[in-house]
Amino acid sequence: MIRFIKTVTGALIAANVAMFVVLTAICAAWGTGAARWLVIAPEFWLRPWTLLTYMVTDSGALNTLFNCLWFWLFSRLALEIGSPRQLLLSYLCGGLGGVALFLVGALAGWCPYPLMGASAAVLGVVVFAAARVPYMRVNLMFFGPVSFKWVAIIAVGLSLLVFAGGNIGGGLAHIGGALGGLLYALILRKANSRIRPVKRARQKTLDELLDKVRRSGYASLNADERKQLIEYSKKL
């Protein structure tokens, strides 16, 4: 359990569960209006910490459970081709991208309700991983092997169904989360193309391994190649 909590995945899941408990206690003691101290509300600039707390604060037990399971699944895939630091940054980029687009909608008068939940941040992780290895194949129940890019496209598409329910703010946040993850992937790709000469050999090996994953899937790597992929991703 201690080892689990020390990981980025474990820490973020623990934060989501803990904040749900805190939110429940706050609302029970002071009413639902007190939730504004943890979520993005129109007067968010008075509470800048909500830029972070909102992305680990869900409104219900089912929402918390769903987002934690969703994140657990895709964080494992993201860690197969990247580092824990990259996973954390993709989560944050998704969350911040979500709030950025939500606030644009709020300024336009489209978002009367506060923004809360991990959905945008989790979508950032999904899109980040898919942008890194779009052709990596994952096994889906009832469908079999599917390219990761299609998993991401379907995930984003399903997240936009909230528009049908009138939740414009949530839909904008989901789009922003996906764009945040994509932007981080593009920035990382550009940064990797400008690394110092002493790292070029390592980068070349990493690129070759990622290309192999894109073409044939993660299962095509042998034990040494998987070890190299994880090691080099953490160092670059």
Share of the chain above pLDDT 90, in %: 41
Higher pLDDT, 145 or 108: 108
User: Which pLDDT value is given to residue 196?
Assistant: 60
Overall average pLDDT of the 104-120 stretch: 90
pLDDT of 56-84, one tens digit each?
998 888 999 999 998 998 888 888 888 88
Domains and CATH numbers, the chain: 2-194 (1.20.1540.10), 197-236 (no CATH)
Question: Residue ranges of the alpha helices (H) in 108-220?
Answer: 119-132, 148-159, 168-192, 200-216
Q: How far apart are CA 14 and CA 215, in angstroms?
A: 35
Q: Roughly what angle, to the nearest 10 degrees, separates helices 84-107 and 223-235?
A: 60
Whether the predicted pLDDT of 201 surpasses 90: no
The model's pLDDT over 142-185, given as tens digits with 9 standing for 90+, comes to 677 788 888 899 999 999 999 988 889 999 999 999 999 999 99
Residues forming a β-bridge with 139? 145
pLDDT over threshold 70, residue 119: yes
pLDDT at 1: 45
d(Cα 214, Cα 202) in Å, to the nearest integer? 18
Residue pLDDT, tens place only, 202-221: 777 878 888 888 777 777 88
CA angle, residues 122, 229, 80, in degrees to nearest 5: 25
Question: Tokens in use for 65?
Answer: 């459970």
- pTM of this prediction? 0.80
